[in-house]
Structure 1
Amino acid sequence: MAVFRPRQAKAHRRKWGMSDTGELHRVLEIFVPMLATVVVLGAVLWALHYLLLVRPKTLKSSQRFYRQLAMLGVTVVGVLAVILALPVAVETRNQIVQVFGLVMTGAIAFSSTTVIANFMGGIVLRTTGRFCTGDYITVDGHFGRVTERGLLDTEIQTETRELVALPNAFLLGRPVSVVRSSGAMVSVELSLGYDVHHAKVERLLLEAAARCGLAEAFVQVRALGDHAVTYRVNGLLEEVKRLLTMRSTLSAAVLDVFHEHGVEIVSPGFMNQRRLDPERLVIARSEEGFAGEEAPARTVPAEKVVFDKAEGAKRQEKQREALARRIEELTEAVAEGEDEAQTKSLKAELEAREAELRALDEKVKAQKEEQA
């Protein structure tokens, strides 16, 4: 078997008029355009990432979302530019471009009902602003507080402290009930026999609502059944974060008020189940010292335990927005400042606020990593 030695290789190149320098130039001519495209693309992506996402310290979540979309578009265009710069024949390059286009088209077609649908749903939900972080929402039987609004889904925390991820397409295709920040209606429904006059029932229900501190309370007669009348008391709760606690408090107040006034809350068939003295009232014995008084605070508020993540997310978002506004105000004041001493003081506060904002972002990031 013949061995191809270095001397023979050099002689071979001299025979055909080739040299080491010429071969290097040829290789560079082939690969330099592609390498230059990759280097330029990397530099452009790094610069855009720094200018759009890293450098600005006062970006809101919605602004960051749209800038991430722009980065995604630039990345797709960059990949296409690298394909066009490949050192291959024109026909081969066109085939690669066609394959890339088919892959993108196929991905969009096959994912249109899932990923793309959720992606577009996230854009629509953010654009319309149907709800914000910390809001109470109800959708298709799911009730809870919004903890996070993501690109593909929205996370809520339910009454049982569970975290439920709802796809954005799911939220977009169904009616979403949002509790307004200005106040929420709290109601309790009960049924009483026809032997109790409705005027007395309405008065007692209004008294229970007033005892809970609900505003603009009113009573409705919901139904006239075969054996009982159904009533509902409604009141406006201005501090919506106490929604769960107030529902329980209102129910307890209704029991207390009715028992204090000697009104039994029993089913129409109660007397048919056991024999009772007609003069005996079916009223639970109140604990000593609590008769006619509000129930003591024996437990922590339900919202503090159930919606801890939602409450924290809302508080952090408000804190971040306040810091962003203050940093923007300080930046403008420093730019327009004429007094050197005042400008120095403003710069010091600006640096402190920026440090506080960075610390808040790091804290949020750490919490997400712990939960992951």
Structure 2
Amino acid sequence: METPMLADLLEQLKDLLLPLSLIAVVLLGLWFSHWLLLRRSGVHAGNHMARQLSFMVLVAVAVVLIILALPVPHETRNQLLSLLGLVLTGVIAFSSTTFVANVMAGLMLRSVRSFRTGDFIRVAEHFGRVTERGLFHIEIQSEERDLITLPNLYVSSNPVKVVHSSGTIVTCDLSLGYDVPHYKITPLLKKAAKQAGLQEPFVHVRELGDFAISYRICGFYEEVKQLLSKRSELRTLVLDNLHGAGIEIVSPTFMNQRQVNEEHFIAPPQRTKTVDLSDANAETMMFDKAERAEKLEALQKELAQLQDTVKAAESQQQITTENGDLAAQKDRIALLQRIIEVAEENGKQHD
């Protein structure tokens, strides 16, 4: 009696061996795809959103393969596939307002290409530098160095203000009384803008209010990465120049209940350079993740271009290309891959 039972057990194990092996291979392939597409994505430069979509498709295919490999009757397998289809349909139907909408919004933002990693953007009341662009959200780093996650649907539904990478206009607004002539104010404001290093400064009279005149000093600034420090520097120099000329920056309705002997409420001007150069790199600390993300994306783009060039040259069996020696380009590819790997590891430690 024991021999036939043992033979039946071995036969059943043989029948299960092939399906279980297929399931193990599918799970192993899915794990390797996750590591290759998402965990080690820096080595393979490319679109992060495309990698996420690819992995989602692979997960769906893996689930179908596992169901097909299960050692169950044909009718049960068909029922499981039907159930899977119903579940997916229900999930998509119930989450379409957020899940699918965010995916479609992300694809739209990618196709529009209004901003890229490292850019300064303002979405509604949120301002910062872009650190990541994903399938469902974007991440920006604020002035306080905090990370803000914004759903793609929210970004696509609100106006997005992007600071142009080639330069922007730095401005400073202030209000002065009607007793101060505008022809005396304009040269002082332009002088402050030039001292701040702004190009082609100009002054606008924005509003003639009931009690004061609103001025805006503007100037072009190329290095947008130091934008916040430059705005602070401009405001500081405006204060120094106006106070140095004896001009009060207070409204005519200014009221102070204290008994004072002074007739002017202005601080004495500083005769030396007023801007502390130690503050010039404040943005480096504020937007450190955005800086790393921008540089990493640039390295990935260069790596992809070099890989395409080398592939094209090898397919044509050329020893040299327009960009230089083929061997040197391969060395550059290997170097970029190592740099990207190190940068990603450092980024994980900082995050």
Q: 1:277 to 1:271 in 2, by over 3 A?
A: farther
Q: Deviations over 1:265-311 (max 9, x none)?
A: 12213366456668x54431234x51xx4534243432122112212
Q: Distance in 2 between matches of 1:198 and 1:158?
A: 37
Q: Deviations over 1:304-331 (max 9, x none)?
A: 2211221222122223323433344345
Q: Secondary structure, in 3 states, of the residue corresponding to 2:277?
A: coil
Instruction: Give the superposition deviation at 1:48.
Output: 7.7
Could you state the TM-score of these two structures normalised by the residue count of structure 1?
0.79
Instruction: Give the superposition deviation at 1:151.
Output: 2.5
Is the aligned partner of 1:268 residue 2:248?
A: no
Instruction: Give the superposition deviation at 1:176.
Output: 0.9
For the 8 Å contact 2:198–2:220, the answer to whether it is kept is: yes
Q: 1:41 to 1:296 in 2, by over 3 A?
A: closer
Matches within 5 A, 1:2-17: 5-6=1-2, 10=4
Instruction: Give the superposition deviation at 1:56.
Output: 10
For the 8 Å contact 1:117–1:169, the answer to whether it is kept is: yes
Structure 2: 5+ residue stretches without partners? none
Q: 1:285 aligns with which of 268, 286, 297?
A: 268
Of 118-127 and 219-228, deviating more is 118-127
Matches within 5 A, 1:212-231: 212-231=196-215
* Structure number with bigger Rg: 1
For the 8 Å contact 1:144–1:157, the answer to whether it is kept is: yes
Q: Secondary structure, in 3 states, of the residue corresponding to 1:112?
A: helix
Q: Distance in 1 between matches of 2:106 and 2:332?
A: 31
Q: Deviations over 1:186-241 (max 9, x none)?
A: 11111111111122222322222222222232222222222111111122211111
Q: Secondary structure, in 3 states, of the residue corresponding to 2:97?
A: coil
Could you state the TM-score of these two structures normalised by the residue count of structure 2?
0.83
Q: 1:95 aligns with which of 75, 79, 91?
A: 79
Instruction: Give the superposition deviation at 1:51.
Output: 9.8
Is the aligned partner of 1:61 residue 2:29?
A: no
Higher relative CO (CA 8 A, sep ≥ 6), structure 1 or 2? 2
For the 8 Å contact 1:320–1:360, the answer to whether it is kept is: no
Q: Distance in 1 between matches of 2:255 and 2:43?
A: 68
For the 8 Å contact 1:57–1:354, the answer to whether it is kept is: no
Q: Which residue in the other structure is 1:319 paired with?
A: 299
Q: 1:124 aligns with which of 68, 92, 108?
A: 108
Q: Distance in 1 between matches of 2:282 and 2:348?
A: 26
Q: Which residue in the other structure is 1:16 paired with?
A: none
For the 8 Å contact 1:143–1:158, the answer to whether it is kept is: yes
Q: Which residue in the other structure is 1:349 paired with?
A: 328
Q: Secondary structure, in 3 states, of the residue corresponding to 1:161?
A: coil
Q: 1:133 to 1:196 in 2, by over 3 A?
A: same
Q: 1:296 to 1:101 in 2, by over 3 A?
A: closer
Q: 1:51 to 1:277 in 2, by over 3 A?
A: closer
* Alignment: residue pair count: 349
Q: Distance in 1 between matches of 2:283 and 2:132?
A: 17
Is the aligned partner of 1:308 residue 2:296?
A: no
Q: Secondary structure, in 3 states, of the residue corresponding to 1:230?
A: strand
For the 8 Å contact 2:19–2:69, the answer to whether it is kept is: yes
Instruction: Give the superposition deviation at 1:144.
Output: 0.3
Matches within 5 A, 1:155-304: 155-270=139-254, 273-274=257-258, 280-287=263-270, 289-290=271-272, 293-304=273-284
Q: Secondary structure, in 3 states, of the residue corresponding to 2:118?
A: coil
Q: 1:161 to 1:338 in 2, by over 3 A?
A: closer
Q: 2:57 aligns with which of 66, 73, 92?
A: 73
Instruction: Give the superposition deviation at 1:42.
Output: 6.3
For the 8 Å contact 1:327–1:353, the answer to whether it is kept is: no
What residue identity is the alignment partner of 1:360?
I
For the 8 Å contact 2:46–2:301, the answer to whether it is kept is: no
Q: Which residue in the other structure is 2:338 paired with?
A: 359
Instruction: Give the superposition deviation at 1:334.
Output: 5.5
Q: Deviations over 1:318-362 (max 9, x none)?
A: 23323433344345456656669x9xx946534432332222232
What residue identity is the alignment partner of 2:129?
R
Instruction: Give the superposition deviation at 1:154.
Output: 1.3
Q: Secondary structure, in 3 states, of the residue corresponding to 1:147?
A: strand
Q: 1:66 to 1:198 in 2, by over 3 A?
A: same
Q: Deviations over 1:145-175 (max 9, x none)?
A: 0111122221111111111111222112211
Instruction: Give the superposition deviation at 1:244.
Output: 0.1
Instruction: Give the superposition deviation at 1:138.
Output: 0.2
